[in-house]
Amino acid sequence: MPQTANHKEHDIVNKKETDTTVTTFARQTRRQLERVGGEVQACATQWYKKYILETILRQKPLKPSKDGRHIPLRVEHEEVLVDERRGHPYISNTIRTSRYTLIDFIPKQIIFQFTRLANFYFLCVGIPQAIPGLSTTGSYTTILPLLFFVLLTIVKEGYDDYKRHRLDNLENANAARVLKRKSPNLSSPLSTRRWLAGRRKDREKDVESSGDDSDPEYGWRQVKWQDVKVGDIIKLVRDEAAPADLVLLYATGENGLAYIDTMDLDGETNLKSRESLPDFKGCQTIAGIRSCQAEFVLEDPNPDLYRFDGRVTIDGRTLPLTSNEVVYRGSTLRNTEYAIGLVINTGEESKIRLNANQHPQAKKPALEYIANKIVIALALYVIILTVGCSMGYVIWRQSTEQESWYVSMATVEFKQIIIGYAIMFNNVIPLALYVTLEITRIGQMLLLNNDVEMYDEATDTPARCNTNTILENLGQVSYIFSDKTGTLTENVMKFRKMSIAGTSWLHEMDIQSEAAAAIDQDLNASTAVAMPRRSREVASVIHEDIELYPVSSPSSRFTPRSERRSSSQWRSSARPDHLQPDVTTTDLLEYIRLRPTSPFARQAKDYILCIALCHTCLPEERDGKFDFQASSPDELALVRAAQELGYLVAHRSSQAVTLQIDNGDGTQRTEVYQILDVIEFSSKRKRMSIVVRYPDGRICIICKGADSMILPRLRLAHVAMQKATEIRKSAELEHELLRRSEQLEVRNSFGGRPSLTLRRNIPGNRNSIALAQLDVPIKTPTTIVRSRSVEATRSRRSEDRPRPTLGVRTTSLEVPNALLKVSPSTPRPLPEKFNFLDDTSIYDESATFSRCFKHLDDFATEGLRTLLFARKFIPPSEYKAWKKIYNDATTSLVDRQDMIEAAGELIEQSFDLVGATAIEDKLQVGVPETIDKLRRANIKIWMLTGDKRETAINIAHSARICRPGSDIFILDSSKGSLESQISDISEDLETGSTHSVVVIDGQTLAVVEQSAPLTDLFYTLIPKIDSVICCRASPAQKSMIVKAIRQRVPTALTLAIGDGANDLAMISTSHVGVGISGKEGLQAARVADYAIAKFRFLQRLLLVHGRWNYVRTAKFILTTFWKEMFFYLPTAMYQRYNGYTGTSLYENWSLTVFNTLFTSLCVICLGIWEQDLSAETLLAVPELYVHGQRNKELNIPKFVRWMASAASEGVLVWLGVWAAYSVFGHALDDGLFALGNLVFTVGVIWINWKIFIIETHHKTPIVLGAFGITMAGWWAWQAFLSGVYAPQPSPYPARNGFVNTFGTDPVWWVTLIIVVTVLISVEMTYKVMKRNLVVAGMWKWPPWQPRSADDSLEEWGLEVWQELEQDPVMRERLRRAAMEEEDEDEGDDERDSVDPDDVAKAI
C-alpha cells in the first residue's frame, strides 16, 4: 500500500508538472502569435498609410508649423489667411458628423457590404450561376435577390446618413455676428465662391448696433456658422454658443470677465470665467477694434482641453495667452451681456471636433461573428456534399453509364457537374436569412419604439431606435460607460442638511412645496385617486413615491413624533432606510423666533449669515421675484437655502452685498456688508474665502471648502484632527466587519448577490423546488470604502470615503435629564422637540467637533456633497498689513496665482468652525434601482465625467455605483509612482473583495497613456475591477477608454450612455450607443443608436428588450439554418437514384417560393414576437441577463446539435417516404413529382409545426393566425399548381396531379400522416422528458460538467422559469418584485419569502 501511495503521489506530481509545462508552452505560443499578429497589423497599417492614404488619396499627415499659426487682428483681411502647414487657406467652419460623402458613399458601402461573409459567399455563388448552362435552378435566382438586398441595405444606410447630414446642416446654418463692411458691394475675396455656393443675401444681413457703437464703414453682420473664417471678429450675446474657438478681446463683465458654460464640451456644470487681457480694453467698440494693432501667435490645433499656449504682440508688447483667455466652440456665454472674440480655430480643427470621433465606423451585431463561423462551417459542408455527389457521378458513370446504351452518349463534363451541385446546394446557406432578418429587425424596432413602459409622460418622449441592425447587442452588454450630469443626475442641486453646534437639521422646504403643489393638483383633478404610473419602473423610486403618497417614517419606532413624518419626508437614495433628523429647518426658524437671543439661536443666525455672504452669485429681480446667476449649482443651492431661511441676497456688486433679513414677525430689515476681498476657489485650494466688513465695522473672513482644507486651519485644529481620526478608525473597523459579513453571503456564479435563491429539497422529485428568498434590490444601511492613495495626514476624507452609521443621530442626543437646563427668561415654554438644545454639551467645542464629523460621515454615505464653513474676526491693523501683501500678489506679473494662494494662506488660519452643509445633487428618478439591477445582471458600470473627483465619488454613492462594503482605490499621478499604486490594488484584490471601485482622473489617465508599460499594467488591472470612476475626463479620453476596453476584452460588449455633445465620441465608439433626451439638447439622442428619455428606462431596454431580441435573433438564425439543412438533405439522398446527375427532387416553382411563401412567416413571427420569459420575470431576476452574455442561445455546440437534428430528421423523412413507395406500398402515381411533392409537403408541415408550435413559447393570436395562413396557403398552392401548370411532358407533371392522381392516392396521404406524426412524437417526447428532468434537477448536459443541487439561479434551465410563470401566485410575486412594490400591510419576511408549497403547486 505505501508503494501504491507513492506511485499515486508520483503520478500526481508528474501530471502537475506536465500540466504546468503545457500551460507555459501554450502561454508562450499565444504571446508569440500575439506578437506576430501585432507586427503584421503594424506593417499593414504602415503600408496602408504610405501607399493608400499618402500616395493614392494624397492624405499626408500635417507637419507642425515652425512658430505656430500667425493671426493678425484685422477687421477685414485683404487676403485670405493661409495655413502654413497646408499651403492653403484655413479650413472652413463646416462640421460633418455623418459617415459618408457623395463621393465615397458608394465605394465604402460596397466594400462594407461585401466584407460581410454571407454576402461575399452569395456573390461567389451567384456569378457562376449566371453563366448559361451551368445552373439547374435558374440563372439569376441568387444574384438578383442578392443585389436587391444589398441595394436595399445601402439605401437604408444612405437614408440614415442623410438624416445626419440634415442635422449637420442645421448646425452649420446657425447665425453668428461677424464684423464686416456695411457696403454689400465691397465683399471679401471669397464673395465669388459664396456666390457660386448660394445667394449671398440669404447668408448675410446687417445687425443693428447700439448707438454708441456705430461706425460709418463697418458693422455687425449676421452670417452662417459655416461662413465664419479664421481671423474673423465675432460678437456673442448672452446665452449664445461660440461658433468656433475664440480669443477673448472684450467682455462686459467686471474687469473684462465673461462666464461660459462648457457643459457640451467637457460635461462640467460649473460656470467658468474667461478674462480678456487689459491691453484690449479699447476693443469694446468697432472703432477701438479698428485702431487696435495686434498679432497672435498660437499653438497648432490639438485636442487638449485644459492647456493652451500662445502669445500676442500688441503695441510692441508681447503677452502670454493661456486657456483663461480662450473660449472654445461648444461653450455658451452666460451671465454676461456680450463678448467679442477673434476666431483662431474653425470647423474640424476646433477643440470639440478634435475630441469627437469624427468618422465612426458602421456597427455590426455581435451575433454576426458566430453567424460567420456558421456560414464557414456550412460552406465547408456544401463543398463536401458537392464533391461527394460529383464523385458519385464519376463512379456511376464508370459502373452504369458506359454500359447503358440509352445514356452512353450523354456524358456531362465533370466541371459542369461540380458547379451544378454547388449551385444546387448553395441554398443550405439561405439568402432569405438576411432578407427576413432585416424584416424581423424592423418588427423588433417597432415593438421597442411602441413600448409604453419606456414612454416618459412628462416630456412626451417615447423610446426610439435609430439603428436596428444591432438590436440583439442589447442582450449581450457587459460594460456600461455612463456620463454623470444629465444622465444620472438632473443637474439640480438642493440644499438638504446642515450641522450647527453638533446638531443636525433636515432642510425639506422645497420638497414640502412640491408636495403641496401636487396635493392641490390632485384635489383639483377630476380623479382624486392615485392612478398607476405609465412606467412600472417609476413605482420603484423612493423620491417620487414619497413625495406623492404618504408612507410611514422609517424612524417611527424610535421617536414618538412619527405623526410629523409627512409624505414629503426626504430619504437618501444611497441609504433609503437611514434614519433622518427629527427636526427640520422649519423647526429651526421656529426656535429662533421663540429664543432669538439664546446662544444656539445666535450660532444658527451666524451660520445662515455665512451662507448668505460667502459666494459669488448675482441676484436678478424679475416681476418681483429674485433669481440668481451662479458660477456653480452648489452656490446657487446655498444662496436659495439662505433665502428660504430668511436671508435674501437682494443685491451684490464687487463692493457690497445687500441682505434682506426676515425678523420672524412679518417685518424685514436691510443690512449692507462691504466686500473687501475675495480669494477665489481653485481646484488646488479647494476652498473660497471672502473678507467683509460688517455693518458695525468689524472685519470678518468667511471660508468655505472641503473638510480636508478647513480642519488644519481651525483654531483648535489639533482637537479637530484627533476627533476626525477617531471617527475614521471607527469607520474602517465597521467597514472591515461589513466586508467580512458580505464575503460570507451566498453568491451566484459571477460573484454577485442573488435576487432569488432556489433550493432543491428532495433530488429526483419534480415538485422539490423551493424559492428560498425573493430579494428586492439591496437597501442596506451603510456604504464604507477604503482609499489607498490618499495622504495619510488627512483626518477625514469626505471626497474619497463614505462613512458608516456612527450611533444615534445627534438631533436626538441621549443626554441625562440633569443636564437639561431651561432659561428662566424664556417668555413661554418651548415644545419638547427642542429640549436637546438646552444640553450644555452642544457648547463644548470638542463634543461639537465629534458630532459635526459624525454628521459629515453620515452626509457623505448618503451621497451628499459636504462643505465646512468657518470664520474669524480680524483686527483692522492685521487686515491692513495683510492687504498690502495681497495687493502685491494680485498686481504681480510673475507667478501671480501662486502669490495669491500664498497670501491667502497667511490669513486663512485660526478659524472658528461655523457648521457644515450637505447638498444633494438630485438624481434622476430610478437611477439607484436601475444601477442595482444592472449590477445584478453581471454588467460592470463605469462613470466617465468631466466633474471633479469629490463630486463624482459622491454621486457614485448616491447612485449605488459604490455599494455597501465597496473598496475604493484612487489612482493619482501626483501621489507617487503609478506602478506601485496599481500593484497595491492588485495585492488588495487578491486578498478578497466583494466589490471594488477604482477612481482615476483625466490627468492621471494622460500619464498612463504616455507610457506603454503603464498602459498594459492599467488595462490588465481594469477587467478585474467591478466599477471605475473616471473624473476630469475629456471627450477624447472617454472615447479612448471605451476603445481600450473593446480591444482588451474582445468578448465583452460595451454600451455608452450620455446626453450631451461631449458624450458623442464614446457613444459612437462603443458597441451600443444610447442617448438621453436631456436638458443639454438632443445631440446624443439624435446620433446614438437608441434614444430614451430617462436613465431608468435602460433597465427595461437591456433586461427585457435586450434579452428578447437576443433570443429572437438567435432562434431565428438557428431555425433558418435548421430548416434549410432539413429540407435539402432528402434532395442529396435522392441523387443516388438519378445517377448523380443533379436532378432536383422538388419542382422548380415550389422551390422558388419555398422560403418566401411557406417558411418565412414561421421564422419572422418567431423573430418578432417570441418571449421566452415575461418582462416581469426578467426584471425581477436580473441575473437571467447572463444568458446573452454567455452566448447560451447561439453557439457552436448548440448549432451542431440543431444541425444533427436537422440531418437525422431529413434522413428519417426520406427513408419513410422511400419505404412507403418502394417497400410497403404501391402508389397510384410513383413519378418524380408525386414523390418530391410528398417530401415537400412533409417538410412544409413539419417546419411550420416545429417552429410555430414547439419552439415558439409566446403564442399570440398573430402567431397562431400565421400558422393557419401558412398551412392553408400550402394546400391552396397545390390546387394552384394543379390548375395552371402547362400540360406538357416534364419530369414534374403538376397538371391535375393533386386533383386527379397522387392527390387521390391513400398511400400518399397515409405516408404524409405517419411521417409527420412520427416527427412530432419524437420531438415532443424529447421536449417533455427534458423539461421534466430539468425541473427535477436530473438533467445534466454536458454530462461531464459538474453541477450541485444549489446552483445559482442563472444556471437553472429555462424550463424552470417557464413552469414558475404558469402559476398565478408565483407570477404575481415576480411581478411585485419587478415593480419593487412595498406593501405596508405585510412585513418584510412575508413579502420577500415564497412558500415552497406554492412552487410545488406551480410545478
Q: What is the pLDDT of residues 374-430, one digit of tens each?
A: 888 888 888 888 888 888 888 877 777 767 766 666 677 777 788 778 877 877 887
Which positions ≥6 away from 1335 have C-beta within 8 Å? 766, 769, 1357, 1359, 1360, 1363, 1403
The pLDDT of residue 206: 64
Cα gap 1117→1127, rounded to integer Å? 16
Q: Is the pLDDT at 26 greater than 90, yes or no?
A: no
The sheet with strand 699-705 has its strands ordered as 503-506, 489-500, 912-923, 865-874, 699-705, 687-693, 668-679, 656-662, 647-652
The pLDDT of residue 1352: 65
Q: Is the pLDDT at 288 greater than 50, yes or no?
A: yes
DSSP state letters, 216-247: SSEEEEEEEGGG--TT-EEEEETTPBPSSEEE
The pLDDT of residue 1186: 92
The pLDDT of residue 524: 54
Q: Is 1392 a catalytic residue?
A: no
Task: Write the DSSP symbol of residue 458.
Answer: T
Among the residue ranges 552-566, 686-700, 1201-1215, the one predicted with the least confidence is 552-566
Cα gap 1295→1292, rounded to integer Å? 9
Q: What is the pLDDT of residues 529-571, one digit of tens each?
A: 333 333 333 333 323 232 322 233 333 333 333 333 433 467 7
The pLDDT of residue 760: 47
Given a contact cutoff of 8 angstroms between Cβ atoms, the answer to whether 411 and 425 are in contact is no
Bin 624: left if φ > 0, else alpha if -120 < ψ < 50, else beta.
left
The pLDDT of residue 893: 65
Which positions ≥6 away from 516 have C-beta within 8 Å? none
Q: Is the pLDDT at 278 greater than 80, yes or no?
A: yes
Query: How many Cβ atoms from other residues are within 10 Å of residue 551's Cβ?
Result: 15
**Cell 456673442, residue located:** 236
Range ranked top by mean pLDDT from 738-747, 936-945, 1225-1234: 936-945
Q: Is the pLDDT at 57 greater than 60, yes or no?
A: no
Of 1053 and 7, the structure prediction assigns the larger pLDDT to: 1053
Q: What is the pLDDT of residues 901-931, one digit of tens each?
A: 888 888 989 899 999 999 988 888 889 999 9
DSSP state letters, 459-493: TTB--EES-GGGGGGGGSEEEEEE-STTTTEEEEE
Bin 910: left if φ > 0, else alpha if -120 < ψ < 50, else beta.
left
Question: CA of 145: how far to CAs of 262, 1157, 1165, in Å?
Answer: 51, 15, 22
The pLDDT of residue 575: 67
Question: How many whole angstroms from its chain centre is CA 869?
Answer: 37
Mean pLDDT (whole number) for 51-78: 74
For 922, the grid coordinates are: 438630485
Q: Is the pLDDT at 4 greater than 50, yes or no?
A: no
Cα gap 751→963, rounded to integer Å? 14
Mean pLDDT (whole number) for 196-214: 54
Beta strand segments in 646-793, E: 647-652, 656-662, 668-679, 687-693, 699-705, 756-760, 769-774
- Buried b / exposed e across 1216-1254, counting CB within 10 Å, b at 16+? bbbebbeeebebebeebbbbbbbbbbbbbbbbbbbbbbe
Q: How confident is the model at residue 1248 (pLDDT cuts 50, 70, 90)?
A: very high
Cα gap 900→886, rounded to integer Å? 7
Beta strand segments in 641-686, E: 647-652, 656-662, 668-679
Q: What percent of the chain has pLDDT over 70?
A: 77
Cα gap 1044→1041, rounded to integer Å? 5
Of 745 and 613, the structure prediction assigns the larger pLDDT to: 613
Which residues share a beta bridge with 866?
Answer: 918
Among the residue ranges 388-397, 569-578, 598-607, 1296-1305, the one predicted with the least confidence is 569-578
Q: How confident is the model at residue 958 (pLDDT cuts 50, 70, 90)?
A: confident
Averaged pLDDT score across all residues of the chain: 78
The pLDDT of residue 694: 93
Q: What is the pLDDT of residues 442-489, one digit of tens each?
A: 999 999 999 999 998 888 889 999 888 899 999 999 999 998 888 888
Q: What is the pLDDT of residues 1369-1400, one digit of tens each?
A: 888 888 888 876 433 333 333 334 444 444 44
Q: What is the pLDDT of residues 757-773, one digit of tens each?
A: 555 443 444 344 444 44
Q: Which amino acid is at 779?
A: K
Of 741 and 1371, the structure prediction assigns the larger pLDDT to: 1371
The pLDDT of residue 149: 80
The pLDDT of residue 426: 77
Q: Is the pLDDT at 252 greater than 50, yes or no?
A: yes
The pLDDT of residue 398: 76
Mean pLDDT (whole number) for 261-290: 82
Over its C-alpha atoms, the chain yields an Rg (Å, rounded) of: 38
Three-state helix/strand/coil letters over 389-404: HHHHHHHHHHHCHHHC
Mean pLDDT (whole number) for 1099-1122: 94
Cα gap 1293→1235, rounded to integer Å? 12
Q: What is the pLDDT of residues 82-104, one digit of tens each?
A: 888 888 889 999 988 777 888 88
Q: What is the pLDDT of residues 801-860, one digit of tens each?
A: 333 333 333 333 333 333 334 444 445 577 878 888 877 777 788 888 888 888 888 888
Positive or negative, the Cα torsion across 990, 994, 1000, 1006? positive
The pLDDT of residue 166: 87
The pLDDT of residue 808: 33
Range ranked top by mean pLDDT from 703-712, 808-817, 970-979, 1211-1220: 1211-1220
Q: Is the pLDDT at 1264 greater than 80, yes or no?
A: yes
The pLDDT of residue 577: 66
Question: CA of 1391: how far to CAs of 368, 542, 571, 773, 1231, in Å?
Answer: 43, 18, 22, 10, 69
Q: What is the pLDDT of residues 620-670, one digit of tens each?
A: 888 778 888 887 788 889 999 999 999 999 988 878 999 999 888 888 899
H/E segment holding residue 923: strand 912-923
Q: What is the pLDDT of residues 1307-1329, one digit of tens each?
A: 899 999 999 999 999 999 999 98
Q: Is the pLDDT at 1242 greater than 90, yes or no?
A: yes
The sheet with strand 996-1001 has its strands ordered as 464-465, 1090-1092, 1072-1076, 1053-1058, 477-482, 940-944, 1027-1031, 996-1001, 967-971
The pLDDT of residue 218: 86
Catalytic residue among 227, 232, 261, 483: 483
Of 193 and 1259, the structure prediction assigns the larger pLDDT to: 1259
The pLDDT of residue 364: 82
Ramachandran angles phi, psi of 780, nearest 5°: -90, 155
The pLDDT of residue 718: 86
Q: What percent of the chain has pLDDT over 90?
A: 26
Vertex 755: Cα angle to 754 and 757 (nearest 5)? 70
Mean pLDDT (whole number) for 114-123: 80
Q: What is the pLDDT of residues 682-692, one digit of tens each?
A: 777 888 999 99
Range ranked top by mean pLDDT from 165-179, 192-206, 736-750, 1221-1235: 165-179
The pLDDT of residue 815: 35
